[in-house]
Amino acid sequence: MIIKSLSSLPKTVWLIGFISLLNDSASEMIYPLLPFYIVSVLGAGPKILGLIEGIAEATASLFKLLSGIIVDRTKKSKIFIIIGYAVPSIGRPILSIITSWHAALFIRFFDRLGKGLRTSPRDAILALSVPENKRGITFGLHRSLDNLGAFVGPIVATILLSYHFSLKDIFLFAIIPGFIAIILTLQIKEPEKIITTHHVKISWRLSSLPSNFKQYLFSYALLSLGNSSDLFILLRAKEIGISEQYIPLLWAFLSLIISVLSTPLSGLSDRIGRKTLLISSWLIYGLFNLLLAQHFVHVSLLIFSFILYGVYKGMSEGIEKALVADLVDKNHFGTAFGWFNLIGGLFLLPASFIFGWLYQTYNYSYAFLFSSCCCLMASCYAWINFHRTKLS
């Protein structure tokens, strides 16, 4: 069933997926090593780490909304995708020459700026390229290939570290897959323009979008408030006893789980509905945070926790985006994905700052318990809203 569904997906879906694979392999060579580079080499603490990640993601989110609105107005997505992949590919090697956390913030800003420019236009193209009953597997495949790149990147980084390459050397090596990704973006073709028999007013205002979409967005905002930067998870893993050289392997293990699960679980939502799977995934994320909040975490429990996190990601990421497309008209895909991505990133600023503040001022338990509570509240609100609107 899955093989048949995958083989019927258009070339554009696969091309965008492989571009994400290459880009993420470049990005994830660096990302697992970044917290230690910022903290150990550049001398910043968890508060600064949270500030850097929060500002970078929040800024990117604003561009996700802006690019989405422009795509709805112009029906042109390709240029945003090209620029969006080019900007971070240029910025990554500069990490090898910086000497302060202020410069790291600047580089992360441009890395996330690229993501902000490409994400909503890319999501809109994916949603427009397939019928409604294939949205789950389409976004699931994209997340699978994206996370496959996130698996390859840390593996390459670990191999380079084992041969005594420095962190700066790895930052430079990441140029190669990033450059190939840029070349492939030139092959993307715009989907056919939507033909309407009446004038469609395009507005950036959230109030112009359907009520059930706004309710879904509110529950997603609650979840995002507890969804701080993954760098804190890696920091916690190191505190538990995972050696710095094995952190990229742990991250690769997580990405492999997500890659394997995203396509079948998201595809399953096309057949049985998205509500139960989505809420279940959010509750699993709450359990993951609850486990990491414990004072005594054995390495085996840490591994189990990361498996739970992988299940959450694999189950949620594709379904969350497919649900956005289910709730709005095709003429507003760009704006809707813009708002969805804006909320997810914008709330990362307070989420990362609150998490970092709790982590450093009190301890990790308070931080992870806060995230767990946000997951529970989001799940409850989503269940009530889905039940009221009879959404499957």
Rounded Cα distance, 132 and 116, in Å:
25
Q: Per-residue pLDDT for 249 more than 70?
A: yes
The whole-number pLDDT of residue 125 equals 92
The whole-number pLDDT of residue 197 equals 40
The whole-number pLDDT of residue 199 equals 45
Binned at pLDDT 50, 70 and 90, residue 88 comes out as confident
Instruction: Give the residue from 43, 71, 45, 350 showing the smallest Cα distance to 227.
Output: 350
Rounded Cα distance, 47 and 61, in Å:
21
Give the domain 10-189+210-389 fold: Growth Hormone; Chain: A; (1.20.1250)
Average pLDDT (276-291) is 94
Alpha helix locations (H) across the chain? 2-7, 11-30, 34-36, 46-74, 78-91, 101-128, 135-162, 167-173, 175-185, 211-225, 231-240, 247-272, 275-292, 299-327, 333-346, 348-361, 364-389
The whole-number pLDDT of residue 196 equals 44
Binned at pLDDT 50, 70 and 90, residue 185 comes out as very high
Binned at pLDDT 50, 70 and 90, residue 310 comes out as very high
Average pLDDT (216-231) is 89
9, 134 contact by CB (below 8 A): yes
Question: The tokens 């760009």 sit on which residue?
Answer: 334
pLDDT over 70, % of the chain: 89
Selected residue with higher pLDDT from 124 and 192: 124
Would you say the C-alpha torsion 374, 379, 385, 389 has a positive or negative sign? positive
The whole-number pLDDT of residue 195 equals 41
Contacts with 154 (C-beta within 8 Å, 6 or more apart), sequence order:
28, 29, 32, 248, 249, 251, 252, 255
Span 29-73, pLDDT tens digits: 877 677 666 666 666 666 776 677 667 777 777 888 888 888 888
pLDDT over 90, % of the chain: 35
186, 82 contact by CB (below 8 A): yes
Average pLDDT (356-381) is 92
Rounded to the nearest integer, the mean pLDDT of the chain is: 84
Average pLDDT (174-185) is 92
The whole-number pLDDT of residue 54 equals 67
Contacts with 199 (C-beta within 8 Å, 6 or more apart), sequence order:
none
Rounded Cα distance, 145 and 153, in Å:
12
Q: Per-residue pLDDT for 392 more than 60?
A: no
The whole-number pLDDT of residue 56 equals 73
**Token output for 340:** 């969805």
Question: The tokens 């990005």 sit on which residue?
Answer: 27
The DSSP symbol for 195 reads P
The whole-number pLDDT of residue 219 equals 94
Domain boundaries, the chain: 10-189+210-389
What radius of gyration, in Å, describes the C-alpha atoms of the chain?
20
The whole-number pLDDT of residue 85 equals 92
Instruction: Give the residue from 162, 144, 175, 145 showing the smallest Cα distance to 29.
Output: 175
Instruction: Give the residue from 177, 17, 178 showing the smallest Cα distance to 86.
Output: 178
Rounded Cα distance, 90 and 109, in Å:
12
In a 3-state reduction of DSSP, which class is residue 209? coil
